[in-house]
Amino acid sequence: MSTVNVNPDVFKAYEVRGLYPSEITEDLFRALGRAFVAYLGPGRYAVTRDMRVSSPSLSEAFIEGGREQGGTIVDYGLTGTDMMYFAVAADGLDGGAQITASHNPKQYNGCKLVRREAFPLSGESGIKEMKEMLLGGTLPLPASTRGGYEKRDIMDRYVDHVMGFIDRDVIKPFNVVLDAGSGVAGLVAPRLFDQLPCRTTRLCFEVDGTFPNHEANPLIE
């Protein structure tokens, strides 16, 4: 039986999201990690996170829950959501979870979840069943054998993959202003744009989950 407090409103159409720590907690994410593996079955799963202040502890809790349920976790650490999708597909994993609240303000956090080949779980398939497990207290007992754990880096392979879409010979020199929004893009964008014939003006490239310059969504400024 699940005894964790769960606000049903955190289960959205394509993610779990809410205010931290009033709605999104480490206890919830530990249970969510268990429900994720219980739904998809014992396999190998990517777990990644963004730079929000609460993301490291939420990621640790999700990983702990997934391993309790018998899942083997491949921890890629601090990455963007698109990098999690790539990791799941490139490494042939059974699914993945990105701890993030995307463009929402800093007081939020959440989780995006995918199955094999990075197909998203949703409120109609996947998130729905996980929600029912947690709200109904029907989460299966932990596995008899704890799942494994390994750390892996995806950045170099991801950059090579993205650059593989680009014909650098046809790109003329240009100027571009980049705003990384204090997010993980501040780590990735230089690796890409430094290979292109462009001059960049870079704003908010220091990764900082307190968002000292503006909210994660610049369109609201």
Any idea which residues carry the catalytic annotation?
Answer: 102
Cα-based angle 64, 65, 66 (whole degrees, multiple of 5): 95
Cis peptide before 120 (omega within 30 of 0): no
Share of the chain residues as helix, strand and coil, in percent rounded to the nearest 5: 35, 25, 40
Instruction: List phi, psi (to 5°) of 62.
Output: -60, -45
Q: How far is CA 90 from the centre of its chain?
A: 16
